[in-house]
Amino acid sequence: MGRLDQLGAITSVPGEVTRLYLTKEHRAAADVVAGWMRDAGLAVSHDAAGTVVGRADGATSGARTLLIGSHIDTVRNAGRYDGCLGVVLAIEAMAELRRLGKCLPFAVEVLAFGDEEGVRFPKTLTSSRAVAGTLDDDVLDIKDADGVPLKEALTKFGCDPAKLKKVARDPGAVLGYVEVHIEQGPVLEAEGLPIGVVTAISGANRFRIEVTGKAGHAGTVPMPQRRDALAGAAEMVLAVERMARETAGLVATVGQITAKPGAVNVVAGEAILTLDIRSPVDRTRRRGIQQIDQELRSIARRRHLTVNMVETYGEKSATCDQRFISHLTTAADALGQTAYGLPSGAGHDGLAMIKLCPIGMLFVRCKGGVSHHPDEAVKADDVEIATRTLMEFLVRVCTTGRAIA
């Protein structure tokens, strides 16, 4: 828990937790995590996407590798447990297994991904997509809000962009990917349970929506002649909210809005919105996107505006592997814990890793289901139960001849 407080103190904004991909804060956190990995007896390397990799070879040479990971980047003004808990907990589990003299028949690599949140750059899951070998061709050219291309940010971070595509793993060499993460929802707390086994991760799509009207003098342009991009965008935000409220199993969020030129006495000529839309059912999400597209176009037509919806990210829903679900359930049972099965509304690196290998996830109860907020909180006892469940999963279940894959 102290380690999570220590990571939480590495931030670009004093007094809150904000640590974005490839920043100096990411570098500082990666170096601290690398030290903990070394203390746990793991061989440490850094891949060309900025991921810290801690490896323990298996007892059998040439054995395949089980990947265990999560992310150490955060949203703005984040909590201390989203992502970091899974990395710190995996390192602790490996350190404890070493202390107990347990050697696994397969290799294990703990991965501390640097870009799960996708807050700095418009695309997200860059570091896990690099491992999975599914990066978009244009990925090196995407730019952050200051116009810095990913290629330049990687170089400044100490990575060689030319090697980014070589991070991809051989699927034949990987047993699977397991992640421990806070639930970021209220279910486990409502059930009075410390841990849960994830059944599926909701797919998500993100868009940049550009609304264009005509800038003008706030004092002289008559109301009927205005083509106010910000007022139009505001109506669109409410249309998105209404459509999502009316669609079961779908959530949609406009998290950011920017008006240009952005002055108190100027009618906005341009407004930029972000849209995040999710559903565990891909068809529901696709239909929701179509419906939003139509609604925004009709609002724009009525207001003599133009609207352009550009997709910046999309990942289909990911179903967790049945063998991982049963192995994690057996491990929880062995500790006398209930292995409550539940889907994840939040996105995770497993959405990318499923393209490489089977995935499994273990959730940890979090207070009030709060996340992406400084009030994010977990109980040390629940973290200990999750750590022991992961260890049980690694030792007893996987070495009882019931090979994972």
Which structure tokens are listed for 284?
A: 């529901």
Q: Least distance (Å) from Mn ion to the CB of residue 263?
A: 34
Q: Least distance (Å) from ligand HGY to the CB of residue 117?
A: 5
Q: Least distance (Å) from ligand HGY to the CB of residue 274?
A: 12
Binding mask 88-127 for ligand HGY (x = CB under 6 A): ----------------------------xx----------
First-last CA distance in the chain: 33
Q: Which is nearer to Mn ion, 83 or 203 (CB)?
A: 83
- Rounded distance between C-alpha atoms, residue 109 and residue 95, angstroms: 13
Q: Which is nearer to Mn ion, 58 or 345 (CB)?
A: 345
Window 180 to 209, contacts with ligand HGY (CB under 6 A): none
Helix, strand, coil percentages in the chain from 3-state DSSP, rounded to 5: 40, 25, 40
Q: Least distance (Å) from Mn ion to the CB of residue 355?
A: 18
Number of residues this chain uses to bind Mn ion (CB under 5 A): 2
CA 109 to chain centre: 19
Task: Identify what 315 binds: ligand HGY, Mn ion, none; CB under 5 to 8 Å per kind.
Answer: none
Q: Least distance (Å) from ligand HGY to the CB of residue 346?
A: 4
Residue 100, Cβ neighbours under 10 Å: how many?
Answer: 10
Among 114, 347, 358, 360, contact with ligand HGY (rule: CB under 6 A): 347
Residue 374, Cβ neighbours under 10 Å: how many?
Answer: 14
3-class SS of residue 44: strand
Q: Which is nearer to Mn ion, 232 or 350 (CB)?
A: 350
CA distances from 314 to 118, 125, 139, 240, 369 (A): 12, 10, 14, 18, 25
Q: Least distance (Å) from ligand HGY to the CB of residue 39?
A: 28
Q: Which is nearer to ligand HGY, 277 or 346 (CB)?
A: 346
Task: Identify what 73 binds: ligand HGY, Mn ion, none; CB under 5 to 8 Å per kind.
Answer: none
Q: Which of 47, 210, 184 lies closest to 122, judged by CA?
A: 210
Helix H or strand E encompassing 74: none
**Is residue 179 a contact point for Mn ion (CB under 5 A)?**
no
Q: Which is nearer to Mn ion, 85 or 254 (CB)?
A: 85
Tokens 């397969």 found at = 106
**Is residue 346 a contact point for ligand HGY (CB under 6 A)?**
yes
CA 262 to chain centre: 31
- Rounded distance between C-alpha atoms, residue 26 and residue 216, angstroms: 42
Among 25, 47, 82, 115, contact with Mn ion (rule: CB under 5 A): 82
Task: Identify what 347 binds: ligand HGY, Mn ion, none; CB under 5 to 8 Å per kind.
Answer: ligand HGY
Q: Least distance (Å) from Mn ion to the CB of residue 124?
A: 10
- Rounded distance between C-alpha atoms, residue 331 and residue 178, angstroms: 14
Q: Which of 78, 80, 51 lies closest to 67, judged by CA?
A: 51
Binding mask 8-37 for ligand HGY (x = CB under 6 A): ------------------------------
Which structure tokens are listed for 314?
A: 């999309």
Task: Identify what 86 binds: ligand HGY, Mn ion, none; CB under 5 to 8 Å per kind.
Answer: none
Q: Which is nearer to Mn ion, 200 or 305 (CB)?
A: 200
- Rounded distance between C-alpha atoms, residue 143 and residue 154, angstroms: 12
Q: Which is nearer to Mn ion, 56 or 75 (CB)?
A: 75
Query: What one-character DSSP code corresponds to residue 113?
Result: E
Q: Least distance (Å) from ligand HGY to the CB of residue 379?
A: 21
Helix H or strand E encompassing 314: strand 306-315
Q: Using CB under 5 A as the criterion, which residues of the chain lie in contact with Mn ion when the complex forms? A: 82-83
For binding to ligand HGY (CB under 6 A), which residues are involved? 116-117, 346-347
